[in-house]
Amino acid sequence: MASGFFAILDDIATLMDDVASMSKIATKKTAGILGDDLAVNAEKASGFVSSREIPVLWAITKGSFLNKLIILPAAFLLSTFLPWAITVILVLGAIYLAYEGGEKIYEYFFPHQKSHEKIHVKERTENEILALEKKRVKEAIVTDFILSVEIVIIALGTVLKEPLVTRIIVVSVVAIIATVGVYGIVALLVRMDDFGNRLIALNTKSHSFSDIVGKFLVRALPKVIKGLSIIGTIALLLVAGGIFVHNIDFLHHFLPGLPSLLQEFIIGLVIGLIALLVVKGFQKMFKRS
């Protein structure tokens, strides 16, 4: 009886060890998308009055958890009954990620005029502010859903040959880490300028330590968000290119002389620009019709 009990404990310990190592691999595979997820949500959650930033971010976080609850069971069912569909979804998602990266690069060189709605503008009524908040939250949750699909599918792709229990635990762990990690960091980022203002207000001296640190935090926030956006764009193209290289045999042998990182970036960029051209072409056709 005792030997059977210890055998069960040994099996559980082995399973947890496998889960830990596979979760580490899966998290590394999804790191690129997490970088873009962080950049996107930091941008979506900023621009509100100080008292509304955390409630808005909490609403987006709850939406993200709901997204995972929808995506995870569907992904596990597909991996069990239609495992080939995982690869198809992975490649289709990579095309979308490449398109997103290509579009951001295109907008950098050919920016279009876009009126950004300011949530904190004093002239707006309370109802208008709430309506704009709901719109921004909805946009963020939709974006999170698309990125969450890719995170879950990429994580699932690393453990596709493992038993179902291992798949469920590993992918669920990665999904939870992704949500808590991304939105926890976003919460710190969006409050960075508020914390800086509090440091500035600690005393009236213009060159005190708290004043210098406070001003640095206030000035750094927009640059940090911009930097994350650039890193996120590069990460999108690398992740997309990596998916293409590892799942499409022709692309796996394309540009063999280049380092793998550069190869994946170029492939991601080229396919992203092709996807962008196709989308722009369809948009022009619909406008004419």
| Structure confidence at residue 40 (pLDDT) | 64
Q: Is the pLDDT of residue 261 over 80?
A: yes
Q: Is the pLDDT of residue 9 over 60?
A: no
Q: How far apart are the first and last CA of the chain?
A: 77
CA distance 19 to 173: 9
1 part of a folded domain: no
246 part of a folded domain: yes
2 part of a folded domain: no
Chain centre distance of CA 5: 42
5 part of a folded domain: no
Mean pLDDT of all residues in 117-124: 51
Q: How confident is the model at residue 269 (pLDDT cuts 50, 70, 90)?
A: very high
Q: Is the pLDDT of residue 216 over 90?
A: no
Chain centre distance of CA 204: 41
| Structure confidence at residue 12 (pLDDT) | 44
**Total structural domains in the chain?**
1
| Structure confidence at residue 13 (pLDDT) | 44
Chain centre distance of CA 104: 15
Q: Is the pLDDT of residue 2 over 60?
A: no
Q: Is the pLDDT of residue 272 over 90?
A: yes
The whole model's pTM is what?
Answer: 0.70
Cα–Cα separations (whole angstroms), residue 247 to 6, 92, 132, 264: 42, 11, 41, 12
141 part of a folded domain: yes
Could you tell me the residue range of the domain that residue 233 belongs to? Answer: 10-288
CA distance 85 to 180: 28
Mean pLDDT of all residues in 84-111: 86
Percent over 90 (pLDDT), the chain: 9
Mean pLDDT of all residues in 76-90: 85
4 part of a folded domain: no
**Is the Cβ–Cβ distance between 43 and 114 less than 8 Å?**
no
